[in-house]
Structure 1
Amino acid sequence: MALRLFCLIFVRLRWHADLVRRCWIFKRRSQGRPPTRACVRTLVFRLARENPLWGYRRIAGELASLGCRVGASTVWLILKKAGIDPAPRRVGPTWSGFLRVNVRHLRRVLAAYETRFNEHRPHRSLGQAAPLRALPDPAEGDVKVIRRDRLGGLIHENAQVAQGG
């Protein structure tokens, strides 16, 4: 009797499970982000290869201007999965490599800047006098000023010129 009751319970549970499965049918959704189309991935690879200085945001912007709405994070993910560095300057020296190669030039520029700072640049705390010079005499009348560029235009040096008369 107990075995028969036990089997009857399992049969009824099975029937209930089948009934629920038939009544509550819904389309199962795939989880996660939908896959990116192959044509978009190909276009991302092409833009990254032809423009090595562009980052993933610039590539996403160019795709948007072409009418393809792709987020920057999607472009980043596509490039990362392909093993391409998604940051700008994928080709070229690193910052530490640049500094190692140009150390002599950088020291020369720094020395020129230091000289300019200590000899020519006016300091507000010293009454507009450079640290290593005395205060200049005040100018009277029209003053002609000559501008010289130093360090390739990085620093502009202005000097007064004597008037001929």
Structure 2
Amino acid sequence: MAPRPPSPAAREGVPPETARPATHRAQHQGPRPASDPGNPSWGYRRIHGELAALGIKVAASTVWEILKDADIDPVPGRELQTWPAFLRSQAHPILAADFFETRTLTGARLYVFAVIEHATRRVRILGATAHPTAIWTTQLARNLVMDLQDAGATAKYLIRDRDSRYTAAFDAVFHREGIAIVKTGIKVPRMNAIMERWVRSCRAELLDRTLIVNQAHLLHALREYEAFYNEHRPHRTLRAAAPLRPLPQPIAKPCRIDDLDIRRRDRLGGILHEYRHAA
């Protein structure tokens, strides 16, 4: 990359009549760099503009071919994609995983591992333990892969944070199935926002309202909440449907509220409520 030439006033032997006007630079700026200002790589358009500023006449296509022959990307940053755009375009094959902890009545700390599908919002609570060892997490990864195969779900990406509980053996289980591991940034929970939002719902709707006695009681409560979340709880993203239950057909004939027969089913002693219209 050639440096910018000095200003006409600093060059010796340059007649005043040949000095460039102040508006010349604005007319020949060319495109902006393909990447952010902190990236030193320039695109072929930027290089072409710098050469033109030096008085070197060369076609932009020639600069493109020279960079291409040298195995240099002529348009750096062309394939860069923002994180929200990646999530929107690849929602169907994306899984998100996370660990979160809770406490029992005795003060014991238990760790829960769950996975959610971005497209369907279906959640899978894979297990809970007081000691999440490498062998335990790897076995949960195998269980998840088998569940996905049984359900006929296709996944290409698994978003997770940089927790030390995710070992190389854990990642290897997904790599063998062609699922790429996407790590979130350090202290950037919004990169795994859908999973984090589900953890918040689980705490607000279940864990903060339940006195957990032990690990068996926690697993029972989580299984009930998983079924409630997947089969009944409406989701705004799914237009009020549930991940495993489509919206019911609307009532054909007009009727009053008093004519409807609404039945309520309580789960976990009344912590969760399901409402259905009796046929």
TM-score range, shorter chain: 0.3 to 0.5
Q: TM-score, normalised by structure 2?
A: 0.23
More helix by share: 1
* Structure of greater Rg: 1
More strand by share: 2
